[in-house]
Structure 1
Amino acid sequence: MEEVPKTIAHQIGGVQNDVLRFGLQGVKSDIVGAHPLESAQESVRRTQETMKRKCIMNTYGSAFPLKMDLDRQMLSRFQRPPGAIPSSMLGLEAYTGSLDHIGFEDYLNDPRESESVRPPDMHHGMEVRLGLSKGPVYPS
């Protein structure tokens, strides 16, 4: 059975390298991966999440982690339309416990609120959300 392209953007082609919307992409960003410490932190986070899931399964039964996954999926869907105010995802942060962690944006400011960053293109944001285009909603 042939796989039909999902979006119009795949039929047109060249959307991933849209120089007019996203600017020139550097070769260095394509070659150099994430920092080794970042990948180590990610693996530790995944290991801790797996252990927490196993503890919950042993304590409350095998259905409870499935219910938690469904709750997480529902809370991750609530978003504002693209525009001037980004989605805060407060419900998901409260559910996952990430409100307890202090990130750099909590004390150094959110880079999206900087005056040097262009405001997001609402039309492109809706194209990305509907699957008609690919790329970041907040171009840098």
Structure 2
Amino acid sequence: MEEAPKTLAHQIGGIQNDALRFGLHGVKSDLVGSHPLDVAHRSTIKTHEDMKRKVLANTYGSAFPLKMDLDRQILTRFQRPPGPIPSSMLGLEALNGSLDDFGFEDYLNDPRESEVYRPQDMHHGMEVRLGISKGPVCPSFV
């Protein structure tokens, strides 16, 4: 005899076409992929990181890049719960050396300070983080 599962499979918010929660669905994002320069930029960054790892391994030994990976994993776990105050990830930025980078948000504005930005629902964000619900954490990133 086979036992029936004791839990029912449910999808709370699992439907991506939920216009009330995620806004209207855009077809253009499904048809058009990322820009070729974006792909080239990402591959250049990955190649640069691989070369940096090899230089560190040759200079300080093979354990040093592994220690840096463990530090990176630890620093990516510390986040605030989803809500109005975003996680700054200052320790991770210091480890990666991205504190010295000058991005567009430094001279234009942070996209979260825009008039069209919708703040994320804290409850839905925690449901997505815990795996209870599916979908984007913040509806403005659809």
Q: Is the pair's TM-score, using the shorter chain for normalization, greater than 0.5?
A: yes
TM superposition score normalised by structure 2 = 0.85
The match for 2:39 is 39
- Where structure 2 has 5 or more consecutive residues not aligned to the other structure, the ranges are 1-7
The match for 2:89 is 89
CA deviation after TM superposition for structure 1 residue 63, in Å? 1.0
Contact 2:11 2:134 (C-alpha < 8 Å) held by counterparts: no
Root-mean-square deviation (CA, aligned residues, Å) is 1.7
CA deviation after TM superposition for structure 1 residue 122, in Å? 0.8
Aligned length: 132
Which residue identity does 2:115 align to in structure 1? E
- Where structure 1 has 5 or more consecutive residues not aligned to the other structure, the ranges are 1-7
- Identity, % of aligned pairs? 74
* 1:76 paired to 2:108: no
Structure 1 residue runs of 4 or more that deviate by more than 6 Å after TM superposition: none
CA deviation after TM superposition for structure 1 residue 134, in Å? 2.4
Which residue identity does 2:75 align to in structure 1? L
TM superposition score normalised by structure 1 = 0.87
How do 1:94-133 residues align onto structure 2 when only pairs under 5 Å count?
94-133=94-133
CA distance in 2 between counterparts of 1:135 and 1:95 reads 30
Contact 2:16 2:22 (C-alpha < 8 Å) held by counterparts: no
The match for 1:3 is none
**2:139 match: secondary structure:** coil
CA distance in 2 between counterparts of 1:108 and 1:138 reads 22
Contact 2:128 2:134 (C-alpha < 8 Å) held by counterparts: yes
Contact 1:15 1:133 (C-alpha < 8 Å) held by counterparts: no
CA distance in 1 between counterparts of 2:113 and 2:93 reads 20
